[in-house]
Each structure stands twice: as C-alpha cells, then as structure tokens.
Amino acid sequence: MADYKKVLVAIDGSEESGKIVARAAQIAAANNAELSAALVFEPLLGSYSYELNMGDFEKVQKEHQARVAEKARESLAAQGVPAARVHFLSGKPATEIKKLVASSATDLLVIGSHGHSPLRAVLGSTANAVLHGISCDVLTVRV
C-alpha cells in the first residue's frame, strides 16, 4: 500500500458525497495523511427559465452555490475536514480538480464513480475525465 501524505476528496454536494468522504477519511486516517476536499461548481445555464434576466440568474446561481457550499462545509466538518482545507472552485470539474491536485502535491484523489446530482459537478463522466493526465493515484468509489 502506498504511503499517502495528502488525500483530496472530490465531491458534488449530493447525498452520495458522504460515502465518498467517509472512504477518503478512512484512507487518510490509516496513512496519517492530511485530508482536503474539493467541490467544483459548473455554470447552471439552461437550468432555469428564460424569464430570468441575467442579473436575476446570477443571483439565483450564487444563492444556490452558497446553500450547497454551506451544507458541504457542515458535512465535511463532521467527517474531520477543517474549513481551511475545503476548496470551492468554479469551472470544468475535471480541469479544476487536476489543477488543484498539481498545486497541492496531492498523493491520492478519491472521487465517485458516477452520480445522480443535478449539479453533476464531480461525479459521473468527470471521474473518467480526471483519470487522463493526472499526476497522482486515483480511487473511484462506487456510489
């Protein structure tokens, strides 16, 4: 078994995220490793009616992201991930996760194998996209 020093868990804020974080926490504890988490927000274009003007749309999106982030912070804190090691990113999930892995010297990335969240921020095809060109070990957790 590898000796991991930094474990990063990628989540999407869905109910399935708890299972993924639990597995990452287990591995981090077994290796006495630092555990961090990442949640990537993608633009929600197309999710709302055209009746919203752009200002309203941006407000709705920010409010939605704030709710998801708060819930994620609470859940992660309960599983031992301090707020200082929770990363909220915006953009393409695979791209942002790979950037964070590279900049943080992550040894192991833990990610879900697929998901059913409307955000689809991390789970699903993102897990496959992350595998290409990543510099660390990757554990996919079936959810």
Mean pLDDT taken over the chain: 85
Q: How confident is the model at residue 13 (pLDDT cuts 50, 70, 90)?
A: confident
Assigned CATH topology for domain 6-141: Rossmann fold (3.40.50)
In the chain, DSSP finds a helix count (H) and a strand count (E) of: 4, 5
Tell me the C-alpha distance between 70 and 65, whole Å. 8
Give per-residue pLDDT as tens, 52-68.
566 677 788 888 889 98
What's the mean pLDDT in 59-85?
89
Q: Whole-model pTM?
A: 0.82
Neighbours of 85 (CB within 10 A): 16
Domain-wise residue ranges, the chain: 6-141
